[in-house]
């Protein structure tokens, strides 16, 4: 008997988390897997943030917080948005959630009616598609090209818009491609959106600090886009606080109010100790975490130079985040050590079994020709992983 809802039966399991679970399982069996599947900084949380959490425990921050976050945390978020992004939000425009993933899920739940379309430039972050579908929206996947650094062009955006388009969701720096939209590129998308004033933009900026080209641009920085953009961010990536589960949005007040109502019925708000620690994290200037960004850049350069040595891989050069997204479609229709490679999923599973390297199939990100490798790993692991991949492809 299976009494599960159609809604959940129609949903995919998160490919990133599934591969992480599989890696853990294989490691527990004693297999020497190098995990390049999960997008999670491999640094410890900085001590000053840990201290703030300990103090919060001792000071008895143990009751329910306001559903949309402590006032002091909202203040820290407002200050951060102003300092880092030049955005001016009021407390009523901010909602703190249990990770940026919940922030995104809230926005989908409060915005989508059945059949509303959400434009997702491909490759998109793994959960966007299922979050939209779970809320009866229709993901409209728009393929970009590696030649254009996996970025959506104004013409592609215009062609994808229909009377049913409700939102566009994108991340910059992008998970999984590492692409970073420049101000001119975002402006050209905003120019198209000017003709369609009802479309809301969800700008996922969780990797904003992990940017190797310099300028991070928020869609809401354009005055004419501010009132129709939801800016999503969190502390998982910048402060290596993935398990502490704090994300937040800044956006139009009516959307923030609805998200507040939604999570008031679902989670009652985010963890009180983690919220207190986040105040301390956000009050620090981004220079405090520059050491992590420098490390990621060194690793980016390393993995790209190693992958460029595999002539069958087509690589773009990621400008941010901590992923590479090579096109490996050369192998489709070929046989490797008795494995038939029909698609990116077969290729990713082949690497797991034969190279003992965990990656994620591009199909989970809406691009069937690529795989994603996370370089949030040590330089030794990166060198060994690419050596094993090369060896397995000989």
What residue ranges bind ligand GLU (CB under 6 A)? Answer: 14, 16-17, 38-40, 101, 126-127, 175
**101 counts as binding ligand PMP under rule CB under 6 A:** yes
The binder of 17, among ligand GLU, ligand PMP, none, by C-beta within 5 to 8 A per type, is: ligand GLU
The binder of 234, among ligand PMP, ligand GLU, none, by C-beta within 5 to 8 A per type, is: ligand PMP
The binder of 364, among ligand GLU, ligand PMP, none, by C-beta within 5 to 8 A per type, is: none
Ranges within 205-264 binding ligand PMP (CB under 6 A): 206, 234, 236, 242, 247
The binder of 106, among ligand GLU, ligand PMP, none, by C-beta within 5 to 8 A per type, is: none
39/75 Cα distance (integer angstroms): 29
User: Does an H or E element contain 117, and which?
Assistant: strand 117-122
Nearer to ligand GLU (CB atom), residue 101 or residue 299? 101
The binder of 65, among ligand GLU, ligand PMP, none, by C-beta within 5 to 8 A per type, is: none
**131 counts as binding ligand PMP under rule CB under 6 A:** no
Burial of 385 from C-beta contacts in 10 A (0-12 / 13-18 / 19+): buried
Angle at CA of residue 129, ends 324 and 253, nearest 5°: 105
Nearer to ligand GLU (CB atom), residue 39 or residue 326? 39
Q: Of 124, 103, 107, nearest to 116 (Cα)?
A: 107
Beta-carbon contacts of 4 under 8 Å, excluding residues fewer than 6 positions away, are none
User: Does an H or E element contain 155, and which?
Assistant: helix 154-160
- Tell the smallest beta-carbon distance from residue 39 to ligand PMP (Å): 5
CB 170 within 8 A of CB 203: yes
- Tell the smallest beta-carbon distance from residue 71 to ligand GLU (Å): 28
The binder of 204, among ligand PMP, ligand GLU, none, by C-beta within 5 to 8 A per type, is: ligand PMP
**99 counts as binding ligand PMP under rule CB under 6 A:** yes
The binder of 80, among ligand GLU, ligand PMP, none, by C-beta within 5 to 8 A per type, is: none
307/318 Cα distance (integer angstroms): 13
CB 168 within 8 A of CB 201: yes
Backbone angles phi, psi at 299, to 5 degrees: -70, -35
Nearer to ligand PMP (CB atom), residue 229 or residue 236? 236
- Tell the smallest beta-carbon distance from residue 352 to ligand GLU (Å): 16
CB 126 within 8 A of CB 76: no
Helix (H, G, I), strand (E, B) or coil at 287: helix
Q: Of 256, 241, 312, 213, nearest to 81 (Cα)?
A: 256
**267 counts as binding ligand PMP under rule CB under 6 A:** no
Question: Encoding tokens for residue 34?
Answer: 């190098």
- Tell the smallest beta-carbon distance from residue 171 to ligand PMP (Å): 4
Interacting residues toward ligand PMP by CB under 6 A: 39, 99-101, 125, 171, 175, 204, 206, 234, 236, 242, 247
């Amino acid at each position: 008997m299976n009494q599960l809802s159609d809604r959940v039966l129609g949903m995919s399991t998160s490919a990133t988390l599934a591969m992480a679970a599989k890696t853990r399982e294989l490691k527990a069996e004693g297999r020497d897997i190098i995990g390049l599947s999960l997008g999670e900084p491999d640094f410890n949380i900085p001590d000053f943030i840990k201290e703030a959490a300990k103090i919060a425990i001792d000071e008895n921050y143990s009751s329910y917080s306001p559903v949309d976050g402590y006032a002091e945390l909202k203040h820290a978020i407002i200050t951060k948005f102003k300092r880092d992004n030049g955005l001016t939000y009021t407390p009523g425009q901010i909602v703190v959630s249990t990770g940026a993933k919940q922030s995104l899920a809230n926005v989908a739940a409060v915005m989508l009616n059945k059949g509303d379309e959400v434009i997702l430039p491909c490759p998109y972050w793994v959960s966007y598609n299922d979050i939209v579908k779970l809320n009866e929206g229709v993901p409209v996947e728009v393929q970009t090209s590696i030649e254009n650094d996996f970025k959506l062009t104004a013409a592609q955006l215009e062609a994808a818009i229909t009377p049913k388009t409700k939102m566009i969701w994108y991340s910059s720096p992008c998970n999984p491609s590492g692409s970073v939209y420049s101000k001119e590129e975002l402006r050209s998308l905003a120019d198209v959106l000017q003709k369609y004033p009802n479309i809301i933009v969800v700008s996922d900026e969780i990797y904003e600090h992990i940017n190797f080209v310099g300028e991070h641009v928020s869609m809401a920085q354009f005055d004419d886009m501010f009132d129709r953009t939801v800016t999503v961010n969190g502390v998982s990536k910048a402060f290596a606080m993935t398990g502490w589960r704090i994300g937040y949005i800044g956006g139009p007040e009516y959307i923030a109010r609805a998200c507040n109502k939604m999570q008031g019925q679902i989670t009652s708000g985010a963890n009180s100790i983690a919220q207190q620690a986040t105040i301390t994290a956000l009050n620090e200037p981004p220079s405090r975490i520059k050491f992590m960004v420098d490390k990621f850049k060194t690793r980016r350069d390393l993995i790209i130079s190693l992958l460029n040595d595999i002539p069958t891989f087509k690589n773009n050069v990621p400008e941010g985040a901590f992923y590479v997204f090579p096109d490996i479609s050369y192998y489709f229709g070929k046989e490797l050590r008795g494995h038939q490679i029909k698609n990116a999923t077969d290729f990713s599973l082949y690497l797991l079994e034969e190279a003992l390297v965990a990656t994620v199939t591009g199909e989970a990100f809406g691009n069937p020709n690529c795989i994603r490798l996370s370089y949030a790993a040590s330089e030794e692991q990166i060198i060994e992983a690419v050596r094993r991949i090369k060896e397995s492809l000989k």
